[in-house]
Homo-oligomer: A and B are copies of this chain.
Amino acid sequence: MDETAELAAFRAETRAWLEANCPDEMRSPGAGDDDMCWGGRKWTFKSEAQKQWLERMAAKGWTVPEWPQEYGGGGLSKDEAKILAQEMRRIRARSPLSSFGIWMLGPALLKYGNEAQKKEHLPKIARGEIRWCQGYSEPGAGSDLASLRTSAVLDGDEFVVNGSKIWTSYADKADWIFCLVRTEPDAPKHLGISFLLFDMDSPGVSTSPIKLISGYSPFCQTFFDNVRVPAENLMGTRGKGWDIAKYLLTHEREMIGDMGSPGGVSMRDVARQEIGTDADGRLNDPLLRVDVARFDVDSYAFALTMERVKDEAKAGQGTGAMSSLLKYYGTELNKRRQELLMSITGSDGLSWEGEGIRDGALAKDWLRSRANSIEGGTSEVQLNIIAKRVLQLPGA
């Protein structure tokens, strides 16, 4: 495929800039969560290189390459952004900034926020100055997100927020929250919801971490006790917050769905090592070999479906109906993957803590994966969505 002269020039410049500006320590895949840079007021950089890399990328707007320059973005075209991503992969450059602000709030702000809100929040997200968390789920609500009860009552030019949110990732480390609240208690349940942005340092906000079956987690429960939020922090139309929520949920589904694709620990490598192979190179356990092969069939088919969906979207042929498929199948597949890894590793995998190489990591990943088909809309909800929107079955 021939690149236009302009794009070729952009590629050359980008490559040169990255070579000059990406610190060596940032040129390797990080070892997981701990090597990610999340930014925010409370952030402590893990290294000088991490700080430098964020600052340099943010200065060019390349933490959010496609956002407009006026909001701290790089103003790149789709093609340019793709080239930047390719060139970063080429030198194995880490992402300079991980952020719910970038992944979730930013796109919603660009679509639903007013000019003042965009000007205020987007540049701080782009520079990693403010770290955001998401306030959606509530205790007892589960899949029925719209049944939320956290209330926001207008008192003068402030909303007074009372209630509680659950499953707020990193709420204890975040600076601000984007939060679904009920402003019209008497309206039908989907119509009384609004979308509020506020500072987690506001008086009346407190958080408490949640311990999962897999151990400590980034999840928190968050409590609001007469928190006063300026009225101008309402995003979008009052009572129409559910539209923004649906928009964001589609985003989230796609992110979580990504997990079933081949990647991470290679199951085949683990299997060869743990089970051993015979003279013909076949795994010594024929039953597990079958399970791995069957998993590979579905895993490749799923990864190729993600590829096809992206290609179709690029070609303008997307049906838009695939995010539930990817969420449902991807998370179920990841659970199967973790189950299979546990079977392959036997009692090694069952170790919880201790001196073993894996140090309980396998078991924790396995347990953590069980939540994939619950969070971000359960598998059952995704199947309901497919039945209704794609298949248009009656009563779905």
Residues of A within 8 A of B (CB): 286-287, 289-290, 293
What is the CA–CA distance of A287 and B290 in the complex, to the nearest angstrom?
A: 6
Contact partners of A289 in chain B: CB under 8 A: 286
Q: Which residue of B lies closest to A291 (CB)?
A: B290
A282, closest chain B residue (CB): B286
Which residue in chain B gives the minimum CB-CB distance to A289? B286
A287, closest chain B residue (CB): B290
Decide if the interface of chain A is mainly helix, strand, loop or mixed. helix
CB distance from A295 to the nearest CB of B (A): 13
How distant is the Cα of A293 from the Cα of B291 in the complex, in angstroms?
14
**What residues of B have a CB within 8 angstroms of the CB of A290 in the complex?**
286-287, 290
Measured in the bound complex, the distance between the Cα atoms of B287 and A290 in whole Å is 6
Nearest Cβ on chain B to A263's Cβ, whole angstroms = 26
In the A-B complex, the 5 residue pairs with the smallest Cβ-Cβ separation, listed nearest first, are: A286-B286, A290-B290, A287-B290, A286-B290, A286-B289
Whole-angstrom distance between the alpha carbons of A293 and B290 in the complex? 13
Contacts of A286 in B (CB 8 A): 286, 289-290
Distance between Cα atoms of A289 and B286 in the complex (Å): 9
Chain B residues with Cβ under 8 A from A293's Cβ? 287
Q: Enumerate chain B residues within 8 angstroms of A287, measured Cβ to Cβ.
A: 290, 293
Bound state CA distance, A290 and B294, in angstroms? 12
Residue of B at shortest CB range from A294? B287
A293 to B287, CA, bound (A): 10
Between A and B, 6 residue pairs with Cβ closer than 8 Å are A286-B286, A286-B289, A286-B290, A287-B290, A287-B293, A290-B290
Instruction: Give A277 Cβ to nearest chain B Cβ, in Å.
Output: 14
The distance in angstroms between the C-alpha atoms of A194 and B293, with both chains bound, is: 56
How many Å from the CB of A284 to the closest CB on chain B? 11
Complex CA–CA separation, A286 to B285 (angstroms): 10
Q: How far is the CA of A207 from the CA of B287 in the complex (A)?
A: 52
Could you tell me the distance between the alpha carbons of A290 and B290 in the complex, rounded to whole angstroms?
A: 8
- CA–CA, A290 and B285, complex, Å: 11
CB-nearest residue of chain B relative to A293? B287
Cα distance A286–B286 in the bound complex, in angstroms: 6
Complex: A289 Cα to B289 Cα, angstroms: 12
Minimum C-beta distance from A276 to chain B (A): 16
